[in-house]
Amino acid sequence: MRSMPPRATVRRSAAWLVVLLVLAGAPQLFSVFRLELFTEVLIFALAAASLDLLVGYAGLPSLGHAAFLGLGSYAAGLTAIHLTDSALVGLVVAMVAGATFGVVTGALAVRTRGIYFLMLTLAFGELLASLSVTWVGLTGGTNGLAGIPAPRLPGFADDFLRQPTNRYFYVLAVVAVGFGLLHVVATSPFGRSLVGIRENEARMRSLGYPVDRFKLAAFVFAGMIAALAGATAVQFSRFVSPEALSFKASVFLLLMPLLGGAGRLWGAAVGALLVVFLRQELSSRFDGWELGLGVLLLIVAYALPQLLARTLRRSVRRPVGAGQPPEPEVSR
Amino acid sequence: MTHPDVLALEDVTKRFGSLAAVDEVTMHVPVGGCRALIGPNGAGKSTLFNLVSGRIRPSGGRILFDGRDVTGLSEDRRNRMGMATTFQHSNLFDGLSVRRNLELAMQRRLGLGARVWAGRRRQAELRQRTEQQLEQTGLGPLAERRAGLLAHGQRRRLEIALAVCTDPRLLLLDEPAAGMSAAECEELIELIRSLSERTVVLIEHNIDLVLEVATTISVLDAGRLVMEGGPSEVSGSKIVQEAYLGAGR
Amino acid sequence: MEFLDAYLITILNGLARGVLLFALASGLSLVFGLMDLLNVAHGSVLVIGAYVALTLAPDGRGFWLAAAAAVVVGALFGLVLLVMVKPIQGHGHLDQVLVTLGLAFIVGDLSGRLWDRNIHSLQPPPPLGGSVAILGQPYPVYRLAVIAVGVVLAVGLYLLFERTMLGAVVRAAVADRDMVSALGIDVGRVFVGVVALATALAAFGGVIGGPILGVRPGLDFQVLILALIVVVIGGLGSLRGALVGSILIGLVQSLGPVLFPQFASFLLFGAMALVLMFRPAGLYGRTA
């Protein structure tokens, strides 16, 4: 019973088609300002999806994930300033930085549970943020890192990435690759193991899984992808400041998979779209959007479990075979 | 060379504060057969199981599995070496289907647990072996049901199936018959008999079941091993009667 | 001792900070230990206390009245918190964080609008406004007073929880909620009492901390993170841990920038990482 009722498949395919069309035609569809905003959504979507792997799949709620995003930005930015303006090198350096930070902090964090994990990730994020403020010589302190040269894409003209349309497609390509990697991992046996760890860690241990190692791997991988997103961000906007690493940024990021539906990568993308859009609307209407952020948090906490439960009842009836995404359940 | 004892405990002790829950227990379990561990409540049986499985560390003594010292090894490491335990209260993946429960156990056994990519052949093998396991344990018709919605007896069966999935040489069953009806107990006895190529150690309060399946019985009282012997020896033993009746001291 | 000569002032500053942290962290730790509730809005309560003092006693006169008012407001906040957390009872820690965080953001935004976004420094009450000579240098009397208050607070809490019937009930409820319930004691009322006490303490901390810290937006999360670190190091649910942790962090925060200027930020988190490596549940925490 592997084929779904035709109507649902048609609807799904239609939805994907629309998404693809919008993604491909964005430079035509949007004004320059909106295109920039849309690119920001794409970048956050990737970062949010990486966080979803941690929260929605492995059940590891991190309050410091924006630190990876910001770290990737700083790493790529500093590479462009001091090393080379090659875009790809910047991406690689960012991923290495993200993975390293992930290993160092993850080794300690994954040994803790629940509340302690939350607080540790928060603390590590704050550590990185305060570092970016105090190490003025390297990072420019609170003024941020400026003077980042435009990235160069080998095989293309030197000023290829100076044009907004080309920049957009570059970001789209990187984000697509990132999503691809996340998807492969999430639907793999490893991904299912992460779900198992979320569902019942003690059971997994008794079944022979080295749980801490798996958690660390997920943590490092998610951090690496978030750093990739951060690198793309800085290559796009050519600026980064300590704000990007802040606790508020982490909360902002955490809202995305939670709003969009934790446990499904495209849900994180939807969440990213919603949250960025909301922030844009709220901060242009009011002065600062913390109030909106607070209300949003309350909505997610109070109202969403019901929404989540309803979507679950639908998906459980679908038989899951190897290669299909694991059930999108989140026990918070 | 396979060591004759699949499990050996040497002076194993576990203290909680000043209380010795397990007090210098020395036990040898040879390959094959079924060892039952009985004793009154609070005798330390579950604590002993937790020590053997690796969930807690002993205060003293050694635990040897197939002749290898596993005292310092983690629970998951011991499972990979061939030791599987069931939990006293069924501990399943309640939110996942029965099939998914078994798949998780099976994919570890097939070495797929950590893979970020599994080709068609491996996926097919996983599906096939899971299907086999479902049939063998009689859980086939329940394959798509959420584990959390199963009846008690079915949960116990899934609990055992998960442990068996990892292909253990030593299977530790913690009160497998708890809450089971007479009919379910019969099925359980059949199941245990079918596992004869593995060594089974079980904790049970159901003495009839124990007398049916056990080849040797070890009796624990107040953390100490007070008697070991065949079913007939133990059922007639004064020591055992005192242990159960005199538990109010 | 030369060390003492050079750093006595800094140490005293550290102790004063430690007292403020203790006012915050003790409540945070208690509420978690008792109700398994992590209140991320706790820093906001402290700031509210400071703003109350700012409104009622900006120049230090009427300080004690302001403190009393702040305590009442703090207790009320605690009740509001309980109401807001009720719907998500049993949903897990992430939901608690979401709700209390939402509350913190809302309160932070509103207080930034009701007052302004500048830094305000409160004045200490006139009798404590002067300075005293310590090792030849002038040192604010007020800070010494804060340290004294801290001692009173610590002793008071100790007596409350170790020597009174109420304290025994609370300690029992931390250990086994259901058992206490079974004894016929209304655990709900115990919860309300402890939460109100915790938030009242936090608000009080904001009032006495006003002259030492600068009251400004962003203070709520700054102190919250410090309090969280204290609680993680000290162990969730342990009053003693909160005290030891507060003093430790207060001293690290004061001595750090003086002794190791480059590594100041690392020290804090380094200390936390160190403790957690050897005691994953904190110095005095219970390992679940």
Q: How far is C11 from chain A (nearest CA, A)?
A: 23
Residues of chain A with Cβ-Cβ distance to B107 below 8 Å are 189, 192-193
**Is residue B89 within 8 angstroms of chain A, CB to CB?**
no
pLDDT at position A328, please?
42
**Is residue B68 within 8 angstroms of chain A, CB to CB?**
no
Identify the band that residue A4 occupies on the pLDDT scale cut at 50, 70 and 90: low
Q: How far is A97 from chain B (nearest CA, A)?
A: 22
Using the predicted structure, report yes or no on whether residue B1 has a pLDDT greater than 80. Answer: no
Q: Which residue of C has its CA nearest to A297?
A: C102
Residues of chain C with Cβ-Cβ distance to A131 below 8 Å are 265-266
Q: How far is C130 from chain A (nearest CA, A)?
A: 34
Instruction: Looking at mean pLDDT, say which of A132-141, A217-226, B179-188 comes out highest.
Output: A217-226
Write out pLDDT tens, residues C195-240: 999 999 999 999 888 888 888 778 888 888 889 889 888 887 788 8
Write out pLDDT tens, residues A135-148: 888 888 888 888 88
pLDDT at position A136, please?
81
Identify the band that residue A319 occupies on the pLDDT scale cut at 50, 70 and 90: very low
pLDDT at position A322, please?
34
Lowest-confidence region among A74-78, A167-171, C181-185: C181-185
Percent with pLDDT over 70 in chain C: 96
Query: Is there contact between A and C if contact means ≥3 C-beta pairs under 8 Å?
Result: yes
pLDDT at position A332, please?
37
**Is residue B95 within 8 angstroms of chain A, CB to CB?**
yes
**Half-sphere exposure (Cβ direction) of A61: Cα atoms closer than 13 Å:** 23
Pairwise CB contact (< 8 Å): A199 & B95: yes
Write out pLDDT tens, residues A65-74: 999 999 999 9
- Please name the amino acid found at residue C50: A
Arithmetic mean of pLDDT over chain A:
85
Question: How large is the average pLDDT for residues A255-267?
Answer: 85
Distance in angstroms (rounded) separating the CA atoms of residues C255 and C13: 9
Label each residue of A103-142 as H, E or C: HHHHHHHCCCCHHHHHHHHHHHHHHHHHHHHHCHHHHCHH
**Is residue A57 within 8 angstroms of chain B, CB to CB?**
no
**Is residue A291 within 8 angstroms of chain C, CB to CB?**
yes
Question: How large is the average pLDDT for residues A28-51?
Answer: 91
Question: How large is the average pLDDT for residues B71-94?
Answer: 92
Q: Which residue of A has its CA nearest to B96?
A: A327
Give, to the nearest 10 degrees, the angle between helix A247-260 and helix A290-316: 30
Q: What are phi and psi of B219, to 5 degrees?
A: -110, 125
Identify the band that residue A325 occupies on the pLDDT scale cut at 50, 70 and 90: very low
Identify the band that residue C288 occupies on the pLDDT scale cut at 50, 70 and 90: very low
Cβ burial of C248 (10 Å; 0-12, 13-18, 19+) is: buried
**Is residue C227 within 8 angstroms of chain A, CB to CB?**
no
- For A21, the enclosing helix (H) or strand (E) is helix A6-29
Using the predicted structure, report yes or no on whether residue A49 has a pLDDT greater than 50. Answer: yes
Q: Which residue has tokens 């305000």?
A: C120
Q: Do residues C197 and C27 make contact, with C-beta atoms less than 8 angstroms apart?
A: yes
Using the predicted structure, report yes or no on whether residue A327 has a pLDDT greater than 70. Answer: no
Identify the band that residue C286 occupies on the pLDDT scale cut at 50, 70 and 90: low
Identify the band that residue C59 occupies on the pLDDT scale cut at 50, 70 and 90: confident
Please count the residue pairs, one from chain A and one from chain C, whose beta carbons lie less than 8 angstroms apart: 109
Q: How far is C256 from chain A (nearest CA, A)?
A: 14
**Is residue A194 within 8 angstroms of chain B, CB to CB?**
no
**Is residue C233 within 8 angstroms of chain A, CB to CB?**
no
Q: How far is A265 from chain B (nearest CA, A)?
A: 16
Residues of chain B with Cβ-Cβ distance to A207 below 8 Å are 76, 79, 104-105, 108, 162, 165-166
Pairwise CB contact (< 8 Å): C225 & A131: no
Q: pTM for the complete prediction? A: 0.87
Higher pLDDT, C93 or B100: B100
Considering only the beta carbons, identify the residue of A199, A208, A320 that sits closest to B108: A208
Quick one: tokens of C121?
């420094």
Give the list of residues 6+ apart from residue A299 with CB closer than 8 angstroms, or none.
Answer: none
Using the predicted structure, report yes or no on whether residue B219 has a pLDDT greater than 50. Answer: yes
Interface of A with B in 289-328 (CB under 8 A): 316, 319-323, 326-327
For chain C, give the DSSP string: -HHHHHHHHHHHHHHHHHHHHHHHHHHHHHHHHHH----TTHHHHHHHHHHHHHHH-TTSTTHHHHHHHHHHHHHHHHHHHHHHHGGGTTS-HHHHHHHHHHHHHHHHHHHHHHS-SS-B-PPPPGGG-SEEEETTEEEEHHHHHHHHHHHHHHHHHHHHHHHSHHHHHHHHHHH-HHHHHHTT--HHHHHHHHHHHHHHHHHHHHHHHTTTSPB-TTHHHHHHHHHHHHHHHH-TT-HHHHHHHHHHHHHHHHHHHHH-GGGHHHHHHHHHHHHHHH-TT-SS----
Identify the band that residue B2 occupies on the pLDDT scale cut at 50, 70 and 90: low
pLDDT at position C1, please?
54
**Is residue A40 within 8 angstroms of chain B, CB to CB?**
no
Considering only the beta carbons, identify the residue of A120, A127, A297 that sits closest to C98: A297
Q: Do residues C237 and C285 make contact, with C-beta atoms less than 8 angstroms apart?
A: yes
Write out pLDDT tens, residues B6-41: 999 999 999 988 888 898 999 999 888 899 999 888
Considering only the beta carbons, identify the residue of B75, B163, B165 that sits closest to A205: B75
Percent with pLDDT over 70 in chain A: 90
* Chains in contact with C, where contact requires at least 3 CB pairs less than 8 Å apart: A
Quick one: tokens of C264?
């100041």
pLDDT at position A176, please?
95
Identify the band that residue A316 occupies on the pLDDT scale cut at 50, 70 and 90: very low
Residues of chain A with Cβ-Cβ distance to B55 below 8 Å are 206
Distance in angstroms (rounded) separating the CA atoms of residues A204 and A196: 7
Using the predicted structure, report yes or no on whether residue A127 has a pLDDT greater than 90. Answer: no
* Chains in contact with A, where contact requires at least 3 CB pairs less than 8 Å apart: B, C
Pairwise CB contact (< 8 Å): C38 & A115: yes
Question: How large is the average pLDDT for residues A155-171?
Answer: 84
Pairwise CB contact (< 8 Å): A193 & B93: no
Residues of chain A with Cβ-Cβ distance to B127 below 8 Å are 321-322
Query: Is there contact between B and A if contact means ≥3 C-beta pairs under 8 Å?
Result: yes
Arithmetic mean of pLDDT over chain C:
84
Write out pLDDT tens, residues C9-34: 888 889 999 999 999 999 998 888 77
Residues of chain A with Cβ-Cβ distance to C80 below 8 Å are none
Question: How large is the average pLDDT for residues B144-172?
Answer: 91
